[in-house]
A and B are shown apart, each in its own frame.
Chain A
Amino acid sequence: MRKLAFVAIVFMLGLAAARGQEPAPAVRFEAVDVYVDSGDRPLAAYQFEFAAETGEVKIVGIEGGDAPAFKAPPYYDPAALQQHRVIVAAFNTDADLPTGRTRVAKLHVMVAGDAEPQYAAQIEVAADADGQAVPATISLAEGGQDE
């Protein structure tokens, strides 16, 4: 009887130890590419708002896009880092402006937990070299895990 009680206690202690060693929530880093398509009109300025609508997401970095006009890091509020929402904007007064679908920025995010994050972006400003509004669409592409 004593042996049985001892075995039971050891078993319970083992279970408790196993539960205490649960792995911490996984954290991974991802990149999200932001594209603005201004059709056949040159894009001289843009402004959009990006947000992670679900998931435990924090924005950790923002860099420019592909086109020379928007290669430099865009404007954003530094306070947006470590948050899930940011307003991003840039302009270029040069003559060499992109048309069509252009990657204007890349956002780096940190995702905690297993939930798959959902991102959303809304274009607020798209203008040509004269500052005139141009019809434009915005789209996102998850660029995979960062190194």
Chain B
Amino acid sequence: MKLSGDNDSREPDAPRKLVEELRALHGRVPGVPVEVDRAVLAMARRRLRARRRPVPALRWALAGAVAGAAALLAVGIVLGPLEGLKEARLASAPPAAPKLLKEDLDGSGRVDILDAFLLARHIDAGSEPEGEWDFSGDGAVDRRDVDALAQAAVRLDRGML
């Protein structure tokens, strides 16, 4: 059933009087101004957009956290094996200090002629030599080791035998 006054021959029309009384009962429906309609629409859109987007500060914090995690992962991947390699090299490198200490008989912290002098006195006195004083590597501690030690003391690149 149609309440309008349009004529349609296939549908029965409401009685005109009823239509007029019903219209009078509700009065005229006031129209919504276009400006109000647009303002309401814009407000609704803003609210919907705000719900969808995260807070900017929170978004930056999230991005920073992700980037930091990626950087840590990359550093771990790249430097991890290098650190391991360095440790392996340190472990396999010949220790320099013990060799220096071995020749530094008087414990002065350096190899000089006094170390050879000490060894010579030791040999002259007939004291029991220590095996590690075999600097010439001939299996005996004798004058050759004194000479080897003295030569080490005067080397221009001062160091070990």
Contact = CB atoms under 8 A, between A and B. Distances in A.
A90 B151 contact: no
A77 B112 contact: no
Given A91-B120, A93-B120, A125 B154 contact: no
The size bracket of the interface on A is 20 to 34
Contact of A127 (B114, B147, B151, B153): B114
A131 interface: yes
A83 interface: yes
Interface residues of B, number: 18
B16 to A, nearest CB: 132
Contacts, number: 63
A131 B106 contact: yes
A87 B155 contact: yes
B119 to A, nearest CB: 10
B117 A80 contact: no
Contacts of A69: none
Interface string B120-143: 110010000000000000000000
Interface string A62-98: 0000000000000111011001011111110100000
Given A93-B124, A124-B112, A125-B112, A75 B117 contact: no
Interface string A117-137: 000000011010001000000
A81 B5 CA distance: 130
A75 B112 CA distance: 11
A106 to B, nearest CB: 16
**Which among A45, A47, A75, A90 has the greatest number of chain B C-beta atoms within 10 A?**
A75
8 contacts: A76-B154, A77-B154, A79-B156, A87-B154, A87-B158, A91-B150, A93-B117, A124-B112
Interface of B: 106, 112-114, 116-118, 120-121, 124, 147, 150-151, 153-156, 158
